[in-house]
Amino acid sequence: MSKQFAVIGLGRFGSSVAKTLHSMGYEVLAIDRDSGRVQDLAQILMHVIEADSTDEMALKALGIRNFDVVVVAIGEDIQASIMTTLILKEMGVKKVVVKAQNDLHGKVLEKIGADKVVYPERDMGIRLVHNLISPNILDYVELSNDYSIIEVKASKFFDGETLQSLNIRQRFGCNVMAIKRNDKYNITPSAKDVVRTGDTLVVIGHNDDLQKLEEVCVNDYEA
């Protein structure tokens, strides 16, 4: 049986999570205390319920304990977000993913047992800045505090070179995971594969090393 998801808080983030799960064919229970939000989403999703997630009895009645993953997407009302997380973990929900408003909120969530804390606004801000600093950086995914994956547009620096001659592993300490050309991904690039200007390279590495690679791209772009 496929995983069962519940999403609590149907603001922009929560409703996007719920709609995406639905469009991918998963069953999702969406919960909000605001009847307007519930009505809006009831047009799209099968199971949308009006309930206050700080009410333990209400959550029990919904059988929330049996869901594999519960996403808490309550933003502004930090107290409600913390109480909801605490109740869910005390009830024994296996995986609780919570959206944090700020670092302090995130720390509290981790202390009370949230299994994953996400910071969508902060992460999107970081990704945008990387793209603004270097137009050649198309995307940026933080794996941990130290490691990331970037999508970088190959500039003149790379043109006509093979992965071997570019020697990115030795020179920058990063690994090219994939090369994209004309919407086609080569996900098993070999040392002999030639890179062309305009190709997209998907590179994994330590943030310091990726930054060195980004600098080459920026300098080359401006030249």
Min CB(90)–ligand ATP separation in Å: 16
Which of 69, 80, 176, 217 is in the footprint of ligand ATP by CB under 6 A?
80
104 vs 191, which CB is nearer to ligand ATP?
104
Min CB(129)–ligand ATP separation in Å: 20
Q: Pattern of binders to ligand ATP over 98-117, x per CB under 6 A?
A: --------------------
Q: Six-digit token pair at 155?
A: 């500039």
Minimal CA–CA distance to 125: which of 107, 135, 140?
A: 140
Min CB(149)–ligand ATP separation in Å: 25
With beta carbons less than 8 A apart as the criterion, state whether 95 and 70 touch: yes
Which of 22, 37, 105, 153 is in the footprint of ligand ATP by CB under 6 A?
37
Min CB(131)–ligand ATP separation in Å: 21
Restricted to residues 39-78, the positions that interact with ligand ATP (CB under 6 A) are 52-54, 73-77
User: Interface with ligand ATP includes 32 (CB under 6 A)?
Assistant: yes
73 vs 150, which CB is nearer to ligand ATP?
73
Min CB(81)–ligand ATP separation in Å: 7
User: Interface with ligand ATP includes 11 (CB under 6 A)?
Assistant: yes
Min CB(51)–ligand ATP separation in Å: 6
| Binding region for ligand ATP (CB under 6 A) | 8-14, 31-34, 37, 52-54, 73-77, 80
